[in-house]
Chains A and B, each alone.
Chain A
Amino acid sequence: NAGVTQTPKFQVLKTGQSMTLQCAQDMNHEYMSWYRQDPGMGLRLIHYSVGAGITDQGEVPNGYNVSRSTTEDFPLRLLSAAPSQTSVYFCASRQGNQPQHFGDGTRLSIL
């Protein structure tokens, strides 16, 4: 099993550009989440999904869109990148109340 796979690992964007961070899991987990990690702020929840076709907002959803068309995939879209979205992004999945599995993270810089 590959676990949770995030791509890309690093990305530099210009302000106003759009892009999609990919996340895939092969464990058939129902829950998937996106977090951003900023210095001194811990991990903050952006969006999450409790199953295919179901998504909801987390603590910091503005500027991000998600969809969950399959159990395996949970992409995060930045529609118009802003410097405030410079961060490290983590995708995670879990089943029920089992521990969460994390991807290796994506370091995103927006100039």
Chain B
Amino acid sequence: AQTVTQSQPEMSVQEAETVTLSCTYDTSESDYYLFWYKQPPSRQMILVIRQEAYKQQNATENRFSVNFQKAAKSFSLKISDSQLGDAAMYFCAYSGNTPLVFGKGTRLSVIA
């Protein structure tokens, strides 16, 4: 079964600085997708970024980018120019031939 590991339960970053959230996964599949979701205190699950495993180019969405290392099964999220609104739980997730599998999450605090 696929597993997703987020080794940082909590992280903090100064406003305007850059922070990287870690994620590793385990799978025997060759074709899959990886996601980062943001969950603010409102409880909504918001898609931040998506990466197709067959694409070598790392996905970017404005201030959010990933470092996808397929051989190492690593999928980290970099947030640049951090803003107060980035404070939330962040979940890494894997999707292959099974429903979405989530990591346990990283709580990100942004310090003004």
Contact = CB atoms under 8 A, between A and B. Distances in A.
Nearest to B33: A97
Interface in B43-97: 43-45, 47, 50, 52, 91, 95
Contacts of B6: 42
A44 B1 CA distance: 13
A77 B52 CA distance: 34
B101 A104 contact: no
B44 A43 contact: no
A53 interface: no
Contacts of A97: 33, 52, 95
Interface residues of A, number: 21
Interface string A76-111: 000000000000101010100101101011000000
Interface string A48-61: 10000000001000
B45 A99 contact: no
B25 interface: no
Contact of B91 (A43, A99, A104, A105): A43
Given A33-B99, A58-B99, A100-B100, A42 B45 contact: no
Closest 3 CB pairs of A and B: A102-B45, A42-B104, A43-B102
Interface of B: 6, 9, 33, 35, 43-45, 47, 50, 52, 91, 95, 99-105
Interface of A: 31, 33, 35, 40-45, 48, 58, 88, 90, 92, 94, 97, 99-100, 102, 104-105
14 contacts: A31-B99, A35-B102, A42-B103, A42-B104, A45-B101, A58-B99, A88-B43, A90-B45, A94-B100, A97-B52, A99-B35, A100-B35, A100-B47, A102-B44
